[in-house]
Amino acid sequence: MPSYTAGYAKNIISRALVGIVDPDPTDRQINSMWKYFDSACAYCEVRLVRGQRKSHVDHLVSCARGGTNHISNRVLACATCNGDKKRDRDWREFLTEIKGRKSTFKERAKRIKNWQSSCPEPISHGVDVDYLEHQIANAKSAFDVAVANIRQSKTT
Ligand SMILES: [Zn+2]
């Protein structure tokens, strides 16, 4: 369980606002991802068990690099590939350095590309990213004001 600090709440505010225009994949889409990748990491092919902490749903292109939450940008990944090794790097470059359990680099790259093309096209929302970020910043500063007011009322 997370502790509900002000910093945690600000992250949730951001994610919820982004989620309005770029929602997370549905449970049904996640189910088909598990099936498609045969319950294995898309990069190194290590076996994954659903619900375990080491099983991740990675962003092929990270959000920091402008990747979306859409299913076509998501693959199954183990905690090692997702966290320690890949981070914000290009997934193709990362894949060349990772050995698969069963398949060559080419086969794994092809599997990921076929996954992407099997997914429905992302709906273009015509989102103005600057506008979205501006709205998120506004919501966060309103939150900051509330936090400051509450803290002040507690001490006086
Ligand atoms: Zn892996």
Average pLDDT over residues 118-137: 81
Q: Above 90 in pLDDT, residue 88?
A: no
Q: Cα(30)–Cα(133) distance, rounded to whole angstroms?
A: 28
The sign of the dihedral angle between the CA atoms of 12, 13, 16, 18 is: negative
Q: 76 near 59, Cβ under 8 Å?
A: no
Q: Cα(144)–Cα(150) distance, rounded to whole angstroms?
A: 10
For the chain, the average pLDDT equals 90
| pLDDT 10s digits, 33-67 | 999 999 999 999 999 999 888 899 999 998 888 88
Tell how far the Cα of 39 is from the centroid of ligand 1, in angstroms: 11
Tell how far the Cα of 47 is from the centroid of ligand 1, in angstroms: 9
Tell how far the Cα of 134 is from the centroid of ligand 1, in angstroms: 36
Tell which CATH architecture fits domain 24-124: Orthogonal Bundle (1.10)
The sign of the dihedral angle between the CA atoms of 117, 119, 124, 129 is: negative
Average pLDDT over residues 123-142: 85
List the domain boundaries for the chain. Answer: 1-22+126-156, 24-124
Q: Above 70 in pLDDT, residue 156?
A: no
Tell how far the Cα of 120 is from the centroid of ligand 1, in angstroms: 25
Radius of gyration, alpha carbons of the chain: 19
Does residue 119 sit in helix, strand or coil? coil
Confidence of residue 1 (pLDDT cuts 50, 70, 90): low
Q: Cα(115)–Cα(140) distance, rounded to whole angstroms?
A: 36
Share of the chain above pLDDT 70, in %: 94
Confidence of residue 125 (pLDDT cuts 50, 70, 90): low
Tell how far the Cα of 86 is from the centroid of ligand 1, in angstroms: 10
